[in-house]
Each structure stands twice: as C-alpha cells, then as structure tokens.
Amino acid sequence: MSQAKEIVVLPGDGIGPEVTKEAVNVLEIVCKRHGHKLRIRSFPVGGASIDRYGRPLTDETLEACKDSEAVLLGAVGGDKWNDQPKDKRPESALLNLRKELDLYANLRPIKTYKSLIHASPLKPEIIEGVDIMIVRELTGGIYFGRPRLIEQTESGERAVDTKEYTTPEIKRVAHTAFETATVRNRKVTSVDKANVLDSSRLWRRTVEESAKQWPEIKLEHMLVDNCAMQLVRNPGQFDVILTGNMFGDILSDESSMITGSLGMLPSASIGEEYAMYEPVHGSAPDIAGQDKANPLAAIASVALMCRYSLDMPEAAQEIEEAIVATLHDGFRTADIASHFTKEHEVSTSEMGSAILKHLDSDLKPGIFL
Ligand code: IPM
Ligand code: MG
C-alpha cells in the first residue's frame, strides 16, 4: 500500500454535508479497490464555520487544505448568514480559498447523459452528444479587482467593482485551456466582450498570442452575449470554452440545463500547487436536510479528483461509468425526474448507495436498494 493520501473535506452548508457524505463514500470505495490509503479530515466552512468560530474560513482550515492532496467542498451559503458584512458572508470563504490556494483554473465539464435527455428543457436533437469543457478563470477579474466600494454621494450611493486582468493571469489559464483541448477535440472558443471592454481586448490579444504554441488547436473568439445564445441554439459546436471569472460563472449555470440539472455538474479548481473539487450547485437551503438533493455532481467531482489530483484515472472512469449505469437503471433524484421514461425517484442516500453498488459488486447484496 502506498502512503495515505490526505484529503480535506469541507461539507459547508445546506445540502453540502449530504452530498459530500455520498461522495466520500464513493472515494473511499474506489481507493480501497485500487489499494490507496486515505486520511480524510473534515472542517466546517462558510456558514457552519461562522456558527462555530465566528469566521467563514479559519486559518486552521486553510492550513489543512494546504497540507492536503486535494480538497472536496460541498456548498456554502444560506439565508441565515445573509445579513453578515461582506467579508463575513459564507461565500467569502469560497473566494478566499480560491485566492489563497491560487486555484486559477476552474474546469466545468458539461456532458449530456443519454438517459437524461428528457430531463433537459432543450430539445433532444439539440443536446445529443454534447461534450463541453468550460475553463473558467477563477482568481481574477471582477470578483477580485480593486477598487471595490460602496460610498455615499450627494445624490445617493455609488458602488464600484473593477474588472481587471493582467497578461500573466490570462496566459496561465489559456495554457490550461489549450492543454485540455489537446486531449479532446482540439478546439478552443475564447469568450469575451472585446467589442466593449478593455480587459477583454487584452484577454483576446493574449489568448491569440498563447495560441501560437498550440498550432494544432483551432482557436475562435466569441462575444459573451453571442455565446450565451449559441449555447442553447447549438451547443454541439463547442469543445473547450475559455473565459473569465464572471462570464464563466454565468455560462456554466446556463450550460447546466444541457445536462438537465445543476445537480449534475462537477468542477475542479486547479492551481500549480493545490486543487479543490466541488459541485457547481449551491447550498439549496430549501431542500437541505431532507435527503432530496442530487449527490451526482459531488460524486462526479470525486471522479475529477481521482483524475487530476490522485493519479487514479481508472477510478475516475469507474465512477463516471457508475453514474451512467445508475442513470440508465432509472434512478432519479427529484431534480432529474421526468415523466417520460420508466424510472424511480430516490433520495440522496439511495442514489449514493446505487452508485456504490455499481462500483463494488462484491459487497453483500441486501445492504443496498
Ligand atoms: C460558483 C458560485 C460562486 C461563484 C459563488 C457561490 C460565490 O456561483 O462557484 O459558480 O460565483 O463563483
Ligand atoms: Mg455560479
């Protein structure tokens, strides 16, 4: 057996703890099968950390993340903490983690599952076979630019956010997008608003320059408003989408509808030294604690962890195949249930158990569904 791999789990708020629990079960089972030892430590983050320590992210939690091989995060946020000042809101934990761990590239794969084709509000012929990787810049842009303020003026208040990008910031995430495209369909669509914004003009020029190192990759540029439209008109045209922080946030939620539910989308946030994996969905306080949430995004995030951080590509594939097989068997959490096909609605934990069953057929029958 190799040395134990250190994994930090940050379940967070709302449905975060429920979905990460299922994802951790999956991680444990594949590690066991592949002879890898794990050491899993869990820490509160976001609202849970505010309740316990008065702060959304403690130094101890951040240090533990820095000592880990990979971090798995559930979700943060909820009405309970909405009145906190902005640096004490649960979301600031997420933004600080991304910044402190320098997780500049956020990979969000959007793939149609055949058996979920009717769960999408888009027509089957539009979404069939779609396989997109969104590469979102995650530590810059308008989320982090300075100045940012709200101030009093004579005529009321004035608020400022700053969208800022530098050449090195653009170059490194462009590098990730081109590298990603080399093992896919060799096409990168860089999305910006270069007809209006200077930060986008620099983005476009820098991506153009970087592309020279990858002559085998086809690069195209697209304005973000057009991209938002093309994603529902003809998503099959995209392979890798490279874009900035806020555009990536918006386009990835939009793209989730291709898969049928935001509850299906995993993500990997990667830097030079650290990596964090999290479902794209939020904390969904309205269904928290009811065993209703879809754990598949968290489980698919563990697959990405196996692939990008744990050097376990076979395990990643097994998890992804287990998801396909479980959906094929007709298991559906409420968010992906439709009335068109033969299927059974299951809870969060039942969905998790169904995945485990596919992953480890040696387990005793009877303990699962
Ligand atoms: C996401 C989320 C976050 C973001 C929020 C919770 C700060 O929407 O990961 O997409 O805007 O990045
Ligand atoms: Mg978002």
Under DSSP, the state recorded for 122 is S
Provide the whole-model pTM.
0.94
Q: Which two tokens stand for residue 283?
A: 């904390």
Which segment of 81-90, 172-181, 347-356 scores lowest on mean pLDDT? 81-90
The confidence band for 27, taking pLDDT boundaries of 50, 70 and 90, is very high
179 lines ligand 1 (CB under 6 A): no
Q: What is the pLDDT of residue 339?
A: 64
Residue 280 CA to ligand 2 centre (angstroms): 7
Residue 363: pLDDT over 50 = no
Q: What is the pLDDT of residue 366?
A: 39
Kindly list the structural domains of the chain, giving each domain's residue range(s) and its CATH number in brackets, ordered by start: 1-113+261-369 (3.40.718.10), 120-259 (3.40.718.10)
Residue with tokens 């990759």: 217
Is residue 76 within 8 A of residue 12, CB to CB? The reply is yes
Q: Which of 87, 91, 137 to mutate to test the pocket of ligand 1 (most atoms within 8 A of CB)?
A: 91
The confidence band for 341, taking pLDDT boundaries of 50, 70 and 90, is low
Q: What is the pLDDT of residue 360?
A: 81
Q: Average pLDDT over the chain, rounded to whole?
A: 95
Q: What is the mean pLDDT of residues 183-193?
A: 98
Residue 368: pLDDT over 50 = no
Ligand found nearest the CA of 282: 1
Q: What is the mean pLDDT of residues 177-191?
A: 98
Q: What is the pLDDT of residue 340?
A: 60
SS3 content of the chain, % helix, strand, coil (to 5): 45, 20, 35
Atom of ligand 1 nearest to the CA of 249: 10
Protein residue with least CA distance to atom 9, ligand 1: 280
- List, for residues 238-256, the tens digit of each pLDDT value: 999 999 999 999 999 999 9
Q: Which two tokens stand for residue 180?
A: 């990603």
Residue 342: pLDDT over 50 = yes
- Residues 247, 292, 32, 61, CA torsion sign: positive
pLDDT above 70 covers a percentage of the chain that reads: 96
249 lines ligand 1 (CB under 6 A): yes
Q: What is the pLDDT of residue 17?
A: 98
Q: What is the mean pLDDT of residues 358-364?
A: 68
